[in-house]
Amino acid sequence: MAQPLSSDLEKQIIEVEEQLRLAMLTSDVATLDQLIADDLVFTNHLGQVISKQDDLAFHQSGLCQFQTIEYADRRLQPLENGVAVFVRVQWAGLYGEISFQDNLQFTRLWQRSPQGLWQVIVGHSSVIQSNIH
């Protein structure tokens, strides 16, 4: 059973979450490379299973340009070997020449790498339907 989340651990996870947000916003591939585990499995809001290499290539392509990425309603859940993060994300930008704006719910599992860095090893995103009561 996981221990309660310490304030130090909470601070660390919020810090890497912010690093991830800024790296996504600016397509900072070097930072994303550090924050994403080599064996990442991420299922996006379209149902596609994405690897680390897929994610880095997406950001390197320049096809998507985020204008805003805002976090809300973040919850952290300590686990035996990591921390799960549940966060609502509102983002907007351009995909090619098409503008987009979505409200998504992300789940990410952060785990320490052998080098001691926090990295995302599993992730999932879902579209938040605004018309569901």
Q: Which residues of the chain have pLDDT under 70?
A: 1-3, 131-133
The pTM of this model reads: 0.91
Q: Fill in the DSSP letter of residue 15.
A: H
Q: Which token pair is 116?
A: 């001691």
pLDDT in the model for residue 69: 97
Task: Please give the share of the chain, as a percent, with pLDDT higher than 90.
Answer: 88
How far apart (Å, rounded) are the C-alpha atoms in residues 99 and 74? 26
Q: Are strands 36-43 and 118-127 parallel, antiparallel or unpaired?
A: parallel
- pLDDT tens across 75-95, in order? 999 998 899 999 999 999 999
Sorted by where each starts, the structural domains of the chain and their CATH numbers stand as 7-127 (3.10.450.50)
pLDDT in the model for residue 3: 63
